[in-house]
Amino acid sequence: MAVRRKRVAEKRAAVSLSELGAIAEDLAALGATTQLAALIEASLLHPMQGELERQFSIERWCRAPKDSTEGAPPFRFDMGSPKGEAGRWAVRENQVPVGLSAPFWVMPTSVTYGMWCLMAPKADHAKRWGADARLPVTHVSWFEASLYARWLDHWLRKPERALIPAGHRVALPTEAQREFFARAGTTTRFWSGDADEDLARVGWFDGNSEGRPHPVGEKTANAWGVHDVH
């Protein structure tokens, strides 16, 4: 989840049930499922206090690039794998230069089951992800993820929180942003190095995960403070 500057000032401070209805109509026009409509109706916006809520403070998010400032010149990096790199899709992948117009913040971990429960606290998510609130949310559709980002943007703007800097919004990261903050300025196969052993130190994959998800943040973060990326 990323926070970046908006082009149009956001005037609403909180989401209402009527706005959730508008979200439902928007998603229905894109072919949203009945299950997703039920998820929207369950979003009663009951805030949970404590550590889960504090995790959304922008002070805990990571700046990409680290220590960058507003008004900095565009950032450029080579996106994709170079020819000859192990694991590269020779047919479908080309390395291209990419520019990002402004810095942004990114959550230090993936959205967890506990964070997702803030949106729909009355739903029985345990059947879907288990009882550990530290596990990452998996197997959600693009529509569900987009709904969560839109809800979170409104939720963080509530007057009692005001956790988003003026002129910014919460959004799903683009593919370029995702690779940019995962690389954190590195050019190796993984941000931690080129060997599979380097990947095992910083991320979960089929070689070390035992085929199951693991709590977020257990592996070493990259140079910009983001965990579970490689």
User: Is the pLDDT at 33 greater than 60, yes or no?
Assistant: no
Report the pLDDT value the prediction gives residue 214, as an integer from 0 to 100: 92
Which residues have C-beta within 8 Å of that of residue 91, sequence separation ≥ 6? none
Q: Is 180 helix (H, G, I), strand (E, B) or coil?
A: helix
Q: What are the backbone dihedrals phi and psi of residue 54, each rounded to the nearest 5 degrees, phi first?
A: -70, -20
| 63 three-state secondary structure | strand
Lowest mean pLDDT among 57-71, 146-160, 173-187: 57-71
Of residues 46 and 165, more confidence is placed in 165
Q: How far apart are CA 176 and CA 78, in angstroms?
A: 10
Mean pLDDT score across all residues of the chain: 75
The yes-or-no verdict on residue 38 having pLDDT over 70 is no
Report residue 140's pLDDT band, with 50, 70 and 90 as the boundaries.
confident
Q: How far apart are CA 165 and CA 173, in angstroms?
A: 17
Residue 30 has pLDDT above 80, yes or no: no
Neighbouring CB atoms inside 10 A of 184's CB total 19
Q: CA 108, CA 124: separation in Å to the nearest integer?
A: 26
pLDDT at 208: 93
Closest CA to 13 of 155, 172, 146: 155
Which is more confidently placed, 5 or 216?
216
Q: Please give the Cα distance from 228 to 92 (Å, whole number).
A: 25
Task: Write out pLDDT tens, residues 72-117.
Answer: 777 889 998 888 888 887 677 788 999 888 888 888 999 888 888 8
Tokens for 12, please give them: 């609403």
Q: Which are the contacts of 49, defined by CB distance < 8 A and separation ≥ 6? A: none
Determine the Cα–Cα distance for residues 79 and 95; give it in Å rounded to an integer: 6
| pLDDT bracket for residue 3 (50, 70, 90) | low
Contact 191, 225 (CB under 8 A): no
Residue 6: pLDDT band with limits 50, 70, 90: very low
Determine the Cα–Cα distance for residues 88 and 80; give it in Å rounded to an integer. Answer: 9
